[in-house]
């Protein structure tokens, strides 16, 4: 692995020779090389002023160099050359990423790159954006907006790497939303999102076995190195041990995970995780995971005033089915649509919209309720959305409370919701419309302060629906990481790597027409990554293990620098996923290892 250091003035002549060799690699004739020798020359007196950095191998041999020139807010990547024998080994990438990082630290807001035409593909792959400006000398101009990790991302894990614990099933089980059957398997699939619990993991701790090819692909796309993987710790449909307890049952592993000195980041706080991490535990800190408790908190905040853009839907708690039926019937007779909720639920589970027509077709409110699971219900006013089909309907605020009780704003996102089921989210510059941004951020921060005062520490979100009058109605809080939080983490990482301005979308379920053998799943991901790159987008498979289920699907992330490209990338991925399996017949759950399929 190459290492970087500042160039020394006495190396100027040798570095100039390296630049000449690198330029000649592209086949330029002697006359052309002589003509540009002056502008490519490095003088000893200028090495420090041009901020030249070199990459060298373990023996101290220089493999390449880069210069960062100019003064903030405008800078230039004056030189980036790699020794021909070292090309293809990641040296150019290392130098480029370092130059981008240094530019961000210096306050550079616009970094110009005048690229040799032969290197233009490299800069596109690095995320630089072609510029309309004419260099006038046959070079190709790119520009990029350098970006450091945002303050919230540095505060989340102390500015460094973290150990990610995918305890999704363990968290859900606290609220009766998990069982040793399909729900448990689904939770283990979503635990794959542990790869994205912070901008840069040091280790992933997962309940189920994941494909090694997936780990390599994700680490490659996010440019992570040295990520340790501990998987298969609570595997199988009959597994009843939570992930944290499974880790504690392996003393050597527990010692390695907790003794690294790095923060442990779970999907959500649980008593077993608190024991693993050596943290205090109070079950009451999670009380606002209850939709009724969250609604009451929203009411207290609004009673204090200061949130004119927020409207709270009415909600009634029904401790018996008879009471719920009475409220539902009364509302149906008045022509009102109603939302029925269980106290807890994940991704829209336990929430149903009931129209007056549905009540009539079922033969009455009691008949409707017979299809609902046992337990108390919440009956809530339905909030009609905006008239325009393209107007945003479902939004969310993400933030977290740090160990000292400070609230950190992460931002707002748009969610895709079908009926009441969560399908994905989009984050990026301006995705929350201007009219909604201020009330969303203000109310989200107020919720964070209330959570902090009650003792909660960790990530949280507030979900909203927009009404027809241009107001936001808060519907619930989640005291854990979520799909939108994953998108924020990925956007922060890509902005720091490739320059600011990324839109990131999580797509919860990309349907596959058949179960794919692991090797073919990797082929599909490689093809989708290449086709998205041709669009100027980044493709990352986020949830691979569900591709091995009898009804297979894939969770993905796509990123681009415009919503139009994001939409195009999602459409490409959905079409490509179905098209790629056209030659595979659906396989039964009894398929054995000879088919190349890993039976889950």
Q: What tens digit of pLDDT does each residue of 144-187 get? A: 999 999 999 999 999 899 999 999 999 998 887 544 445 567 78
364 and 394 part of one domain: no
Tell me: do 334 and 304 sit in the same domain: no
Nearest to 44 by CA among 5, 79, 13: 13
pLDDT category at 60 given cuts 50, 70, 90 is very high
257: containing domain: 147-281
pLDDT for residue 517: 87
pLDDT at 145: 97
CATH value at residue 465: 3.30.470.20
Report the 10 Å Cβ neighbour count for 61: 12
pLDDT (average), residues 441-445 = 98
Domain final residue pick, 444, 478, 512: 478
Task: Give 104-126 pLDDT, tens digit per residue.
Answer: 999 999 999 999 999 999 999 99
Least confident of 6-15, 99-108, 387-396: 387-396
Helix/strand/coil for 189: helix
Predicted pLDDT at 590? 37
Residue 589 has pLDDT above 50, yes or no: no
Tell me, yes or no, whether 91 and 45 share the same domain.
Answer: yes
CA angle 289, 295, 301 (to 5 degrees): 110
Report if residue 337 sits inside a domain: yes
- Asked whether residue 415 falls in the same domain as residue 404, the answer is yes
Q: Are 397 and 367 contained in the same domain?
A: no
Summarize the confidence of residues 396-423 as an average pLDDT: 94
Cα-based angle 184, 216, 202 (whole degrees, multiple of 5)? 75
Do 139 and 152 lie in one domain? The reply is: no
Instruction: With cut-offs at 50, 70 and 90, classify the pLDDT of residue 446.
Output: very high
Residue after which a domain boundary falls, among 336, 366, 381:
381
Query: What is the pLDDT, as a whole number, of residue 144?
Result: 97
pLDDT reading at 528 higher than 90: yes
pLDDT value of residue 28: 94
Within-domain flag for 590: no
Number of domains in the chain: 4
Q: What is the mean pLDDT of residues 531-544?
A: 96
334's CB contacts (< 8 A; 6+ apart) are none
pLDDT at residue number 135: 59
User: Does residue 572 lie in a domain region?
Assistant: no
Q: What is the pLDDT of residues 263-292, one digit of tens each?
A: 999 999 999 999 999 999 999 999 999 999
pLDDT in tens, 458-486: 999 999 999 999 999 999 999 999 999 99
Q: How confident is the model at residue 347 (pLDDT cuts 50, 70, 90)?
A: low
In a domain, residue 575? The reply is no
Do 397 and 371 share a structural domain?
Answer: no
Same domain, 412 and 298: yes
Q: Is 460 left (phi over 0), alpha (psi -120 to 50) or beta?
A: beta
Instruction: Report DSSP state, residue 105.
Output: H
Residues 404 and 355 placed together within one structural domain of the fold: no
Percent of the chain at pLDDT exceeding 90: 80
Q: What is the pTM of this model?
A: 0.92
Residue 372 lies in a domain: yes
Cis previous bond, 73, omega within 30: yes
Q: What is the pLDDT of residues 224-236, one digit of tens each?
A: 999 999 999 987 6
Q: What is the CA radius of gyration of the chain?
A: 27
Report the run of H or E that residue 503 belongs to, with start and end.
Answer: strand 503-511
Domain CATH for 64: 3.40.630.30
In whole angstroms, what is the distance from residue 339 CA to residue 353 CA? 5
Q: State residue 412's pLDDT score.
A: 98
Neighbours of 212 (CB within 10 A): 12
Average pLDDT over the chain reads: 91
Q: What span, in angstroms and rounded, lies between the C-alpha atoms of 459 and 265?
A: 10
Query: Residues 151, 177: one domain?
Result: yes
- At 317 the pLDDT is 87
Identify whether residues 105 and 170 lie together within a single domain.
no
CA-CA distance, 525 to 232, in Å (whole number)? Answer: 22
Residue 302 maps to a domain: yes
Q: Is residue 573 part of a domain?
A: no
116 shares a domain with 222: no
Strands (E), 342-495: 351-354, 377-381, 394-401, 407-418, 421-427, 458-466, 472-478
Characterize 237-264 residue by residue with b for buried, 16 or more Cβ atoms within 10 angstroms of its Cβ, and e for exposed. eebeebbbbbbbeeeeeeeebbeeebbb
Which of 338, 360, 381 lies at the terminal end of a domain, its last residue? 381
How much is the pLDDT for 233? 93
The strand order across the sheet containing 538-543 reads 472-478, 458-466, 394-401, 407-418, 421-427, 503-511, 553-560, 538-543
* Residue 491 domain flag: no
Question: In 3-state terms, the chain is what percent helix, strand and coil (to 5)?
Answer: 40, 25, 35
């Amino acid at each position: 692995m190459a290492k970087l250091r500042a160039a020394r003035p006495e190396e100027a002549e040798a570095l100039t020779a390296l630049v000449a060799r690198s330029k000649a690699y592209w086949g330029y004739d002697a006359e052309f090389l002589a003509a540009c020798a002056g502008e490519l020359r490095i003088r000893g007196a200028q090495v420090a002023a041009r901020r030249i950095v070199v990459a060298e191998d373990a023996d101290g041999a220089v493999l390449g160099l880069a210069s960062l020139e100019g003064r903030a807010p405008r800078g230039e990547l004056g030189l980036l050359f790699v020794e021909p024998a070292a090309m293809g080994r990641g040296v150019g990438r290392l130098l480029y990423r370092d130059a981008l990082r240094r530019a961000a630290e210096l306050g550079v807001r616009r970094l110009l790159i005048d690229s040799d035409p032969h290197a233009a593909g490299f800069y596109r792959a690095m995320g630089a954006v072609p510029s309309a400006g004419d260099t006038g000398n046959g070079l190709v101009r790119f520009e990029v907006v350098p970006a450091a990790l945002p303050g919230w991302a540095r505060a989340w894990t102390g500015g460094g790497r973290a150990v990610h614990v995918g305890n999704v099933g363990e968290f859900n089980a606290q609220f009766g939303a998990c069982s040793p059957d399909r729900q448990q398997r689904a939770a283990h699939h979503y635990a794959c999102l542990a790869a994205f619990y912070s901008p840069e993991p040091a280790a992933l701790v997962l309940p189920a076995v994941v494909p090694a090819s997936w780990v390599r692909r994700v680490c490659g796309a996010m440019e992570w190195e040295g990520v340790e993987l501990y998987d298969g710790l609570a595997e199988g449909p009959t597994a009843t041990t939570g992930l944290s307890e499974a880790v504690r049952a392996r003393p050597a592993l527990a010692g390695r995970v907790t003794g690294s000195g790095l923060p442990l980041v779970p999907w959500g706080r649980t008593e077993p995780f608190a024991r693993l991490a050596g943290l205090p535990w109070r079950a009451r800190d999670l009380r606002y995971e209850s939709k009724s408790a969250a609604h009451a908190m929203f009411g207290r905040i609004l009673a204090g005033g200061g949130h004119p853009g927020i409207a709270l839907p009415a909600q009634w708690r029904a401790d018996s089915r008879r009471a719920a039926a009475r409220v539902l019937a009364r509302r149906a007779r008045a022509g009102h649509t109603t939302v029925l909720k269980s106290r807890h639920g994940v991704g829209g589970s336990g929430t149903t919209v009931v129209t007056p027509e549905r009540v009539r077709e079922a033969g009455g409110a009691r008949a409707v309720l017979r299809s609902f699971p046992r337990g108390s219900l919440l009956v809530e006013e339905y909030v009609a959305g905006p008239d325009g089909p393209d107007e945003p309907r479902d939004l969310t605020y993400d933030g977290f409370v740090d160990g000292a009780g400070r609230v950190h704003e992460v931002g707002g996102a748009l969610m895709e919701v079908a009926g009441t089921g969560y399908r994905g989210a989009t984050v990026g510059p301006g995705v929350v419309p201007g009219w909604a941004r201020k009330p969303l951020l203000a109310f989200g921060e107020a919720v964070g302060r209330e959570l902090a005062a009650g003792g909660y520490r960790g990530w949280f979100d507030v979900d909203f629906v927009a009404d027809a009058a241009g107001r936001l109605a808060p519907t619930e809080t989640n005291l854990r990481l979520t799909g939108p939080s994953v998108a924020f983490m990925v956007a922060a990482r890509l902005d720091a790597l490739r320059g600011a301005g990324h839109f990131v979308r999580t797509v919860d379920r990309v349907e596959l027409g058949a179960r794919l053998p692991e090797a073919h799943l990797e082929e599909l991901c490689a093809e989708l990554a290449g086709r998205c790159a041709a669009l100027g987008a980044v493709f990352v498979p986020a949830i691979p293990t569900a591709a091995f289920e009898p009804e297979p699907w894939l969770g993905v992330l796509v990123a681009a620098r415009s919503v139009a490209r994001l939409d195009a990338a999602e459409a490409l991925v959905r079409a490509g996923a179905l098209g790629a399996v056209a030659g595979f017949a659906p396989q039964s759950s009894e398929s054995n290892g000879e088919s190349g399929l890993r039976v889950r």
